Amino acid sequence: MDTFREAAHRRWSRQAWTLAGAVRAGRARAKADPGRAVAPVDGEALRALVATVAADARLVRVPVNQPPWTPTGLAVTTGEDVSWLAWGSLYLVRPLPVALRPRLILRGRVDVGVPVEGARDTVTFRADRTGELRLGSVYPGELQADGTITTDRIPYRAMSGTLSAVVARWAPGSDPRRALESIAGRDRSGLCAAEAARLTDPPAPPAV
């Protein structure tokens, strides 16, 4: 069987067009996210604060230059509420200011369960199974329904930046919104207040 070998100049041209398309897509997403410039977050201070009201809280760094999934060390049980409060950016091409925030690229799942996403940098969901919470940056891959990632021409190793998150497990019967509201005044990052506000007025599901 003959093996197809792409000429080097054609391969370089194709990859250049692919990268240019990624930059354009990233710029479009960044323009739709005007609040992307955020102040640095003291992750350990935030974790310690959340730990005063949650059953468990962990600080996690999520690599952007490798495919999901990153273990968080947070063990959860079916039916428990779980939150993540995330910050940081993924950069497509340095030094161009094309950055993606966690709301666009960060996903979570419990063990091998269905991936969870959110429209903001903070998320709270109910665990559909017992296991460890895992987080991952999906870009530049494409997330499949079973949690696997497929990639096309741009490798993960081309990405740079840092994503971090405080993940929390809430005790059965507790109210994450009230808990986050109770500590929002001591949280300089504003992430606790942001998630409490989101839980107060969650987005409505699309009409069928």
pLDDT in tens, 19-55: 555 555 555 544 544 444 457 899 999 999 999 999 9
Is the predicted pLDDT of residue 102 greater than 60, yes or no? yes
- Residue 10 within any structural domain of the chain: no
- Residue 36 within any structural domain of the chain: no
pLDDT of residue 94: 62
- Residue 3 within any structural domain of the chain: no
- DSSP one-letter code for 173: T
pLDDT of residue 148: 75
| Cα dihedral 38, 71, 127, 166 in deg (nearest 10) | -30
- The domain total for the chain is 1
Q: What is the pLDDT of residues 124-183, one digit of tens each?
A: 999 999 999 999 998 877 777 777 777 666 787 888 888 999 999 999 999 999 999 999
- Residue 9 within any structural domain of the chain: no
- Residue 117 within any structural domain of the chain: yes
Q: What is the pLDDT of residues 144-158, one digit of tens each?
A: 777 777 766 678 788
Is the predicted pLDDT of residue 16 greater than 90, yes or no? no
pLDDT of residue 203: 66
Q: What CATH number does residue 191 fall under?
A: 2.60.120.430
Residue whose C-alpha is closest to residue 110's, from 140, 136, 143: 136
Cα distances (Å, whole numbers) of residue 202 to 118, 125, 199, 206, 207: 11, 11, 5, 12, 15
Q: Average model confidence (pLDDT) for the chain? A: 83
- Residue 54 within any structural domain of the chain: yes
pLDDT of residue 2: 45
- Residue 105 within any structural domain of the chain: yes
pLDDT of residue 51: 98
Rounded-to-integer distance, Cα 60 and Cα 68, Å: 13
- Which residue range is the domain that position 176 belongs to? 43-200
For the entire predicted model, the pTM comes to 0.77
